[in-house]
Structure 1
Amino acid sequence: MTALSNAFETIFHSFNVPMAVIIEYGQEQRFDKVNAAFLQLAGYSKQELFQLPPSRLFHGWESTCNNDGISSPHVLVTKYDRTLYVRLTCRSVQSYDLPTRLLIAEDITARMWIDEKVRTGSVLLSGIVDNQFIIQHIEENYPMPLFDSDFTVQYQSIFKIVHEDDLTYIKEAIKQYLSLRQPQQFMFRTRKLADLVYLEVTLILSPFYNGDESLKNNGFVVTDLRTCSDPVDPSVKLKVLMARCSMSAQQLSQATGISVQTISKLRNGKIGKPHQLTADLIATELNVKGQDIWK
């Protein structure tokens, strides 16, 4: 075995990314190597996989196996008949005597669930938390940010965001959610975010599992946000209401006839309280009353 192949073996088995080496014997393809992450993804033992053709796992394998590059999402059927969606990357490996490919499988099941929720409903925030409920990815689905760009909750525990008065309830609710193994809606208050505001969050959480039935991650979508404390700076209230309505300053300007500059100044707190007509026009477009924003 060469130094290069030794290095390949080390990388192959140490990466927490599902990878397999597939060798072609005439018209037949077989797994030659699989790493631990691939075994967890598929749910099979190494011995079981070596007896199965890749086409047994992946729907539409024939259209992928002879092409290098990244393919469109494939269905992976695990040992226990769980359906996962994976993005496959195939690369030719030249150091073998027989035609050989390196296969990398990225599980995108949670991502596809989120995309479907975004397409079919009102989603303000979306993302993925890992099996320890650490936020791995988060996206804003409204046109203008609520907070400054240097504020983020990514890589924080979801429990550190929850208001201390709701923490016991949320922990118990998540225990039940994990035992039911199905999507569930949660409502909770946050701690004070960016030293500005407490929010009431309505969130749907959905669990996703590896092929060996261990919890992989959780997808989430936030369907509603509300301020839940007084006093709240009117500029923050305006930002939250615009986010709930998925409305940019340009869109609000077009709907009300108020200049973008004025709306931007109201959002930034440079104008503390607008004229009554301005307040009423903005509030009506955001489905609230003027005094709900500016006391």
Structure 2
Amino acid sequence: MPNRWASLMVEKAAVGICLCKWDGRQFMVEEANPAFFQIIGYTKEELGQASFLSFLSAEYRDWVLKRPEFFEYDEVLFSEERWTVKHGHQVDVELSLRETVMDGVYYYIMVVRDVSDKKWILRQGTGYEVSGTLTTKFRFTDCSLHGPLLDLQRKDLLAQPFLSFVGSKHLLQVRHSLRQALLSASGFSMALEWVHNHRQADMEFRFQPLLNGRQEVTRIAFVGKCLANGQTREPSGIAVTLRMLMAERRMTATRLSELTGLSMGTISKMRNGKITNPHKYTIQCIADALGVPITELWRD
């Protein structure tokens, strides 16, 4: 294979590829492709010749340092880690290390894949009929069906945009909420009607935008479950308005918590419609932080 094709494959790969040199104490980063720098958030100039160990949480670092002792030539070591990258952002990754020798020097080829979406889905527990990830254009990049759902198959989901399965009653609201989630990088829950082949099911979805090391939303993880016995959970008017105002101001839940003194739990529940009748003082604090009249959020 010509060298230019090999270079092109590395350059355009969707996974991070990095060449490290082991100096007896550290895995020093020698070269890396764009996907690797996207995962960690740093540019090549910012990173310099740093060790990838600096991305690891302290609990993993000592363990990783012992690994070269167990390498045999051409052996591949697989691992799952949580990296702390630029600005303290944490990314769940799968990585593999393979030893090789060039010009008498030992190097390690590292392949890194961001699996934050899969880890988030696992943390949501069980009982969901469907889960997966969407692109920022709301197309499925991955999905799994965990039970019978309107006779759907995985290939049906991958062939069409997510919004094509949303009933007309909720379509505009879902599209708006997903767009706002991209702007605010904040997750939300929503009840909606799921439609396929003239059949429908009332479902509740959770959506979570996922960031790379550059604080860019790269995809949206989701889980969806059927609501039992026709149960509905429409978000309150306050929840929809709060999400919209926060998105317009690019304000995160963390920042709003700092400005208001309210807990992250309270703000999260209000954004997701789980607190439908908050105290007037709470609304006033939020309105002041957002720079809007209380009447934007409160109706006597």
Asked whether the two chains share a fold, i.e. TM above 0.5, the reply is yes
State the partner residue of 1:62. 65
Q: Which residue of the partner structure matches residue 218 of structure 1?
A: 220
Corresponding residue for residue 43 of structure 2: 45
Note closer, same or farther for the CA distance 1:64–1:48 as it changes in structure 2 (3 Å cut): farther
Distance 1:126 1:158 in 2: 12
Q: Which residue of 1 aligns with 2:143?
A: 138
Spell out the pairing of 1:6-155 with structure 2 (5 A cutoff).
7-59=5-57, 60=60, 61-64=64-67, 67=71, 68-119=75-126, 122-142=127-147, 144=148, 146-147=150-151, 149=153, 152-155=156-159
C-alpha distance in structure 2 between counterparts of 1:87 and 1:44, whole Å: 19
Which amino acid in the other structure matches residue 105 of structure 1? Answer: V
Structure 1 residue aligned with 2:176: 172
CA pair 215-65 structure 1, distance change in 2 beyond 3 A: farther
Q: Is the 8 A contact 2:145 2:153 kept in 1?
A: no
Specify the alignment match of 1:181 in structure 2: 185
Question: What's the % identity of the aligned pairs?
Answer: 16
Aligned equivalents of 1:64, 1:4: Cα separation in 2: 34
* Residues 199, 226 of structure 1: 8 Å contact kept: no
Q: TM-score, normalised by structure 2?
A: 0.66
Amino acid at match of 1:172: H
Give the secondary structure class of the aligned counterpart of 2:79. Answer: coil
Contiguous gaps of at least 5 residues in structure 1: 229-295
CA distance in structure 1 between the aligned counterparts of 2:185 and 2:215, rounded to whole angstroms: 11
The equivalences for 1:222-241 within 5 A come to 222-225=224-227
The structure having more radius of gyration, on CA atoms, is 1
CA distance in 2 between partners of 1:88 and 1:187 (Å):
36
8 A Cα contact 1:25 1:98, kept in partner:
no
Contact 1:64–1:71 at 8 Å: present in 2 too? no
Whichever residue aligns with residue 65 of structure 2, its letter is E
- Change in CA separation of 1:13 and 1:178 when aligned onto 2, cut-off 3 Å: closer
The 8 Å contact of residues 182 and 217 in structure 2, kept in 1 or not, is answered as no
1:134·1:156 contact (CA, 8 Å) conserved in 2?
Answer: yes
How far residue 9 of structure 1 moved from its aligned partner, in angstroms, is 2.9
Gap change, CA 1:166 and 1:65, over 3 Å in 2: farther
Deviation at 1:90, TM superposition (A): 0.9
Q: Which moved more, 1:32-41 or 1:178-187?
A: 178-187
SS in 1 for 2:30: strand
Q: Distance in 1 between matches of 2:164 and 2:54?
A: 43
User: What's the offset of the Cα at 1:163?
Assistant: 2.1
Conserved in 1, the CA contact under 8 Å of 2:211 and 2:217?
A: yes
2: CA distance between counterparts of 1:204 and 1:140? 15
**Amino acid aligned to 1:116:** R
2:273 aligned residue:
none
For the 8 Å contact 2:25–2:65, the answer to whether it is kept is: no
Paired residue secondary structure (1:99):
strand
Q: Secondary structure at the match of 1:131?
A: coil
1:10–1:172 Cα change, 3 Å: closer
Structure 1 Cα separation of the partners of residues 85 and 219 of structure 2: 17
* Aligned partner of residue 199 in structure 2, secondary structure: coil
Q: Is the 8 A contact 1:208 1:216 kept in 2?
A: yes
Residue 134 of structure 2 contacts residue 142 of structure 2 at CA under 8 Å; is this kept in 1? yes
TM-score by length of 1: 0.67
